[in-house]
Structure 1
Amino acid sequence: MTQTALIADIGGTNTRLALAQGPELDASSIKRFRNADHANFEAVVSAYLPQVGAPVISGACVAAAGPVVDGVAELTNIDWTLDIPTIARAAGCAEVALLNDLQAPGHAVGRIAPEGLLPVITTATPLSPEATRLVVNVGTGFNAVPVHSTATGRFVPPSESGHVNLPIRTEADLRLSHYVDDSHGFPAVEEVLSGRGLENVYRWHCAETGAAPELRGSEIIAAAEAGQSPQAVAAVQTFLRFLGTVSGNLALEHLPFGGVYLVGGVAVGLAGLLNGGAFAEGFRDKGRFGGFMEDFPVTLVRDDHAPLIGCASHLHERRTG
């Protein structure tokens, strides 16, 4: 008899809970809870389980928005303590796994339905299911992780790739780097490639042209798509070029012949502009290795359930591996 697992994706504002049977996520069981309405994770689970028939839980896997060190998640925007004993107590089971919110989609790639994927850069080279993959998250923050298939199962190591230095290619890049450095104290990749990063790039273009920065967040993308603001258009093109450059750098470090996967709300928001050329140009701008970059396909993950799918898959693999 297939056992029922509790799956959770804890973000800074909301927590999503779901049930899974083996590796299969029950999409009809997904429910969202505002973190501010609950004292802790245990309170969220207590509110959730009666709504789905109070099943007996045999295992649990949680993805948390923050680094996980020695079985403890440091949540970035919530004053909750999340560790293995807490999850076990909340779910009422002994078998528990804790991932950060980027490791979870790493466990999902290769297991997402085709309709949840959008090709960005295609390649004629056949993909190997055992080849390394690379997941690049562009959302509230920026991060990237390689996904390795091993004899003992899938391995997705933790990472803090968003806090490395911004790569500089042109004089304009250097001016942007100085602008970010002056504003935030360090020119990190995340200060350009994230939700707030897009706003930083837009404000820099406004400062360069003497325009008033009137747009925020998704307004910048909408204005760029409509061609209503030269600064928004320039900001999005700069953003996409940097995203291509950084993703390409990471691809050369990890050699993801299994593909590069873009995830996160900002990446999905840019879906209509990713194929415009700036991303691909930045990705392939590697000098004599430009041709080599054509071996790495890039795909946008549009399935919002990816972290939950990854948690279900990871827990099932631990049980059967």
Structure 2
Amino acid sequence: MTDLTGETGFSLVADIGGTNTRVALARGPMVDRATVTRYANAEHADLSEVLGRYLSEKGVTDRQIAGVCVAAAGPVHDGVATLTNLDWRIDRESLGQRLSAEKVAVLNDLQAQGHAIGNIDPADLQEIVPQPPASDLAAKLVIGLGTGFNACPVFDTAGGRFVPPSEAGHVSLPSCGGAMQVLVEAMRKDHGFASVEEALSGRGISYLHRVLHGETVEPAAIMERLDKGETRATETGRAFVQVMGTVVGDLALSHLPFGGIYLVGGVTRAFAPWLGQFDMVGAMRAKGRFSGFMEQFGVFVVKDDYAALTGCASHLSRL
């Protein structure tokens, strides 16, 4: 990377997942892709240790960092993030003291994805449904399927962008008959509660396959079988996409994202080639007398795996 000795005004951005943390440097809303580095969480005691290692490896001092923004895979309340799948606690105040930064922010990872919308290369957006004409201030909706599930609306207002936090993955999974009815009944029996995240996540693929076919198979193996056209994997893939479409449609009606729906996350990208074949849009629009109304929402898959980092940088640039 470029020699940063003597330079200042950089932002430090980080995306903390359950397994890995990615860290990068940014100027304004733009992330320097050459500086992105991934660290295994299991090898570090906390985020402070990760950031310290990163700065040391890049030859950057605390004084060169003007702002820091962290995206965490878990709920954020009053600047404190509690990660769902990692025993780390991220505190905005402590983070600011550690780096002596002027601007400090802690976001939920889906909030960061929301802040990235509008700053993503069009080449990294796969169009599923064309976006009808809409106001620049029309609400947008980001939905993430990965290790977990979450969703958040994006509001552009005269006062700036507002991306409220959410824990949408832990709401009840709708029961609409067919595979969904079987899935909900199995979850209630096994877990006492049927949540969206237990169905629409990496582990959800395996769980759905077991419910439908009575065998336990890892998600990656199911996707490999799906690529080969294996019957059981195809049935699982179709059911997964149909459940996905139903939930996406429910969320669209809750938030009315006339500015578009953006699907993010590793599971989303894995299923992107199958969304058309398995009619995700049909399931999304199957809302009775509101089916025609649902045609107003464009749908895109975000292929940029660094979008959360871009969102962190964009958010800092607006503070």
State the TM-score, normalizing by the size of structure 2: 0.93
The residue identity in structure 2 corresponding to 1:250 is L
The answer for the alignment partner of 1:240 in structure 2 is: 241
Are 1:45 and 1:91, in contact at CA under 8 Å, matched by a contact in 2?
Answer: no
Displacement, 1:35? 1.4
Task: Please give the per-residue CA displacement for 1:41-81, whole angstroms capped at 9, x wherever unaligned.
Answer: 11111111122231510111110111001111111233222
- Aligned mates of 2:180, 2:35 — CA distance in 1: 46
* 1:160 equivalent in alignment to 2:167: yes
The answer for the alignment partner of 1:219 in structure 2 is: 221
Residues 2 and 155 of structure 1: CA distance in aligned 2, closer, same or farther (over 3 Å): farther
Are 1:64 and 1:98, in contact at CA under 8 Å, matched by a contact in 2?
Answer: yes
Alignment of 1:219-298 (within 5 A): 219-228=221-230, 230-298=231-299
* 1:29 equivalent in alignment to 2:31: no
- Aligned mates of 2:288, 2:86 — CA distance in 1: 44
The residue identity in structure 1 corresponding to 2:277 is G
Displacement, 1:92? 2.5
Task: Please give the per-residue CA displacement for 1:125-157, whole angstroms capped at 9, x wherever unaligned.
Answer: 224332100000111111110000112211111
The residue identity in structure 1 corresponding to 2:117 is V
- Aligned mates of 1:267, 1:235 — CA distance in 2: 15
* 1:300 equivalent in alignment to 2:301: yes
Displacement, 1:282? 0.7
Are 1:2 and 1:22, in contact at CA under 8 Å, matched by a contact in 2?
Answer: no
Which of 187, 193, 197 is equivalent to 2:200? 193
The answer for the alignment partner of 1:210 in structure 2 is: none
* 1:15 equivalent in alignment to 2:21: yes
The residue identity in structure 2 corresponding to 1:142 is F
Displacement, 1:222? 2.0
Residues 2 and 150 of structure 1: CA distance in aligned 2, closer, same or farther (over 3 Å): farther
Gaps of 5+ in 1: 208-212
Are 1:8 and 1:15, in contact at CA under 8 Å, matched by a contact in 2?
Answer: yes
Which of 139, 143, 149 is equivalent to 2:156? 149
Which of 119, 135, 144 is equivalent to 1:111? 119
The residue identity in structure 2 corresponding to 1:132 is A
The answer for the alignment partner of 2:142 in structure 1 is: 135
Aligned residues: 311
Task: Please give the per-residue CA displacement for 1:93-130, whole angstroms capped at 9, x wherever unaligned.
Answer: 1320110111000000121001111111224x224332
Displacement, 1:172? 4.0
Alignment of 1:53-68 (within 5 A): 53-55=59-61, 56-68=64-76
Are 2:207 and 2:216, in contact at CA under 8 Å, matched by a contact in 1?
Answer: no
- Aligned mates of 2:51, 2:178 — CA distance in 1: 52
The answer for the alignment partner of 1:96 in structure 2 is: 104
Displacement, 1:215? 2.4
Are 2:8 and 2:66, in contact at CA under 8 Å, matched by a contact in 1?
Answer: no
Are 1:168 and 1:174, in contact at CA under 8 Å, matched by a contact in 2?
Answer: yes
- Aligned mates of 1:145, 1:96 — CA distance in 2: 21
**Structure 1 runs, 4 residues or longer, greater than 3 Å off:** none
Are 1:45 and 1:90, in contact at CA under 8 Å, matched by a contact in 2?
Answer: no
Task: Please give the per-residue CA displacement for 1:150-197, whole angstroms capped at 9, x wherever unaligned.
Answer: 122111111111111111222443222111111222111111111111
- Aligned mates of 1:159, 1:78 — CA distance in 2: 18
Residues 173 and 67 of structure 1: CA distance in aligned 2, closer, same or farther (over 3 Å): same
Are 2:206 and 2:216, in contact at CA under 8 Å, matched by a contact in 1?
Answer: no
Are 1:64 and 1:73, in contact at CA under 8 Å, matched by a contact in 2?
Answer: yes
- Aligned mates of 1:253, 1:2 — CA distance in 2: 43
Gaps of 5+ in 2: 1-6
Q: What percent identity do the matched residue pairs reach? A: 48
- Aligned mates of 1:12, 1:92 — CA distance in 2: 26
- Aligned mates of 2:20, 2:183 — CA distance in 1: 33
- Give the secondary structure class of the aligned counterpart of 2:34: strand
